[in-house]
Amino acid sequence: MTDTPNILEELNDRSREVFRRVVEGYLANGDPVGSRTLTRDFSEKVSAATIRNVMQDLEFMGLLDSPHVSAGRIPTQRGLRMFVDGLMEVGLPDSADREKIDATRGAGERDVAGLLDRVGSALSGVTQGASLVLAPKHEAPIKHIEFVSLGHDRALGVLVLADGHVENRLFTPPPGQTPSSMREAANFLNALIEGKTLGEVQSVIQVEIKKRRREIDSLAAELVQQGLAVWDGDDDRNQRLIVRGRSNLLGAAGDGEDLDRIRTLFDDLERKRDIAEFLELTEEGHGVRIFIGSENKLFSLSGSSLVVSPYMNADRKIIGAVGVIGPTRLNYGRIVPIVDYTAQLVGKLLTDKS
């Protein structure tokens, strides 16, 4: 929130302490915090009536809300953002949490997918939320590509990489393809792409098609474009996103509106393409980012929060992200350092493997 510093400056010490204690109490148990609760261990001796007056002022400023008549207060989304940006204390993850995350280290195995799956499971277990892990794109040089017809409207693309990794993708070929046009398209590509990564191929292939138009017929040209597209489309993003621990969210939900919000969140999590795109926004900046409630359109209906951090390779290039999603009353002060630690560990492990 851009006006967070100004609002904080308007609060005196008493208002700031009331606000902080309401937020911390709400994040701890999810219940509204009342004035009598605050007077028990307040830093100065004040009456419940005085505390109520302060809470009313904070409500007028849009930082607190009263869910029921004569009930305690809970922070608004605006209040949570102000707390996270200006008052939250973030330390290091405790030793028990670090040990559980560190246990995901394998004994030198090269299975990146298995490693990231273990990381996701450990992260959801430690935080008791749902974890999201966006795996890096496979960037090894290409060794060979082949197209196999499976029918008039189905084809299989087979991509063999120099490190032995093989990817198979089903796709719908352009109409009118023949076995000869498929061979021609594969031969055309193999003459150009050997030794290049997929990212490098995408930037040069269109230029080569135009330059060598007479050497390749129109059917094969269409297949070249369609065949490469399957490695840069929705399926790739879906396969890169690992979601673990959704059952944790059910355990944290009560009845009624809370359960409905969790069901909405489950629907959001099924839309992996959208979430992958959202997590890739971490490429805009380094470090942990916190999105609360409707601050992002993807989770606005479920009222959920996302704590996410990118991880980098040896060249300090962002190649993926790890995050935790849950209700807005996440224990941000605890989860932020856990997500940050996990992201740094994943980056180190992948760098070591490469």
Task: Say how far apart CA 97 and CA 333 lie, in whole Å.
Answer: 14
pLDDT of 39 higher than 80: yes
Q: Yes or no: say if 311 and 343 are a contact pair by the CB < 8 Å rule.
A: yes
This prediction's pTM: 0.76
Rounded percentage of the chain residues whose pLDDT exceeds 90: 27
* CA atoms 253, 256, 261, 263: torsion sign: positive
* Tokens matching residue 309: 């951090």
- Give the tokens for residue 195: 């030794």
Least confidently predicted of 7-11, 105-109, 131-135, 172-176:
105-109
pLDDT at 5 over 60: no
What is residue 231's predicted lDDT score, i.e. its pLDDT?
A: 64
Q: Indicate if the pLDDT at residue 6 is higher than 80.
A: no
Sign for the pseudo-dihedral over CA of 238, 239, 240, 246: positive
- Token pair in block for residue 124: 């959801």
**pLDDT tier at 62, thresholds 50, 70, 90:** very high
Per-residue pLDDT at 120: 93
Q: What is the mean pLDDT of residues 181-196?
A: 82
Domains of the chain: 3-87 (1.10.10.10), 95-137+239-352 (3.30.450.40), 142-232 (3.30.390)
Work out the average pLDDT over 122-132.
92
Is residue 1 over pLDDT 50? no
- Residue 172 pLDDT > 80, yes or no? yes
CA distance 151 to 156: 10
Residue 215 above 70 pLDDT? no
* Maximum C-alpha span of the chain: 88
Instruction: Kindly write down the DSSP assignment for every residue of 28-94, as one continuous string.
Output: HHSS-B-HHHHHHT-SS---HHHHHHHHHHHHHTTSEE-SSTT--BEE-HHHHHHIIIII----PPP
Three-state DSSP at 254 gives coil
Q: What is the pLDDT of residue 96?
A: 93
> What is the separation, in whole angstroms, between the first and last Cα of the chain?
39
pLDDT of residue 315: 81
If you average pLDDT over residues 5-18, what whole number do you get?
A: 83
301-325 tens-digit pLDDT: 667 889 999 998 888 888 889 999 9
> Could you give the percent of the chain with pLDDT greater than 70?
78
